[in-house]
């Protein structure tokens, strides 16, 4: 289990035995802000966002000063070496790959509130940054893709009609929304056929069966 820990400001791997290995807690001798979301690519590289929400308030971690800019990092699956892959985003948040891993989607919950798409290069770098979807007046958080390449992102903070999950086609067209009673924070496909979408929120866990199946990450 790969986890982002706000309080400890680190990314860890928990083994089946319960042993915890720290994968990354600093960069260039400075502490990470508060890693937020993480995805593992098929080459075993680990990609995570570090927006710092966990050190803005005591509620989500512990108030502290920023030592690093808000960034997206990549940990090499073979060497464990860390590199910065994105540093032009205000508050990088949820992230996921397209089904063929040629595109990385990253939600920016800062300003402007949009989802960016990047081409993934063979050397682990990113290029061709572009706006995939404008999430104003609300914002996007955790996200996943289905087997057809549609992007399912949790959403909220834009009014009652905005709370829940927004589904976008691969070209960025909004397909539809799933409404819940509070802002959504993350999503995950599960169930025997991987056709059940689980939605986390501030106080609740929701689930809904869909007519599609999620792409399963390693």
Question: Of these residues, 37, 50, 108, 141, which one is catalytic?
Answer: 141
* Rounded (10°) CA dihedral 2, 8, 9, 10: -30
Of 32, 16, 122, 144, the residue nearest 82 (C-alpha): 32
Of 46, 103, 98, 111, the residue nearest 72 (C-alpha): 46
Beta-strand pair 46-50/126-134:
unpaired
141 carries an active-site annotation: yes
3-state secondary structure of 88: coil
> How far, CA to CA in Å, does 207 sit from each of 168, 180, 191, 194, 210?
19, 10, 10, 12, 10
- With residue 119 as reference, give the H or E element that holds it: strand 114-120
Q: Are 68 and 48 in contact (CB under 8 A)?
A: no
Which positions are annotated as active-site residues? 141
């Amino acid at each position: 289990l790969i986890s982002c820990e706000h309080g400890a400001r680190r990314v860890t791997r928990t083994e089946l035995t319960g042993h915890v290995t720290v994968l990354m807690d600093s960069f260039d001798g400075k502490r990470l802000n508060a890693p937020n979301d993480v995805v593992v690519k098929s080459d075993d590289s680990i990609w995570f966002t570090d927006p710092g929400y966990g050190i803005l308030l005591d509620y989500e971690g512990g108030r502290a000063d920023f030592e690093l800019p808000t960034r997206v990092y990549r940990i090499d699956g073979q060497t464990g070496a860390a590199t910065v892959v994105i540093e032009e985003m205000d508050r990088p948040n949820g992230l996921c790959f397209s089904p063929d891993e040629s595109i990385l989607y990253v939600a920016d919950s800062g300003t402007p509130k949009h989802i960016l798409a990047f081409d993934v290069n063979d050397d682990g770098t990113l290029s061709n940054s572009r706006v995939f979807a404008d999430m104003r007046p609300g914002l996007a958080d955790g996200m996943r893709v289905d087997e057809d390449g549609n992007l399912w992102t949790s959403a909220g903070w834009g009014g009652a009609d905005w709370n829940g999950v927004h589904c976008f086609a691969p070209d960025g067209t909004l397909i539809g929304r799933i409404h819940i009673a509070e802002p959504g924070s993350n999503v995950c496909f599960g169930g025997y056929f991987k056709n059940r979408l689980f939605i986390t929120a501030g106080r609740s866990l929701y689930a809904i069966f869909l007519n599609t199946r999620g792409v399963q990450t390693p």
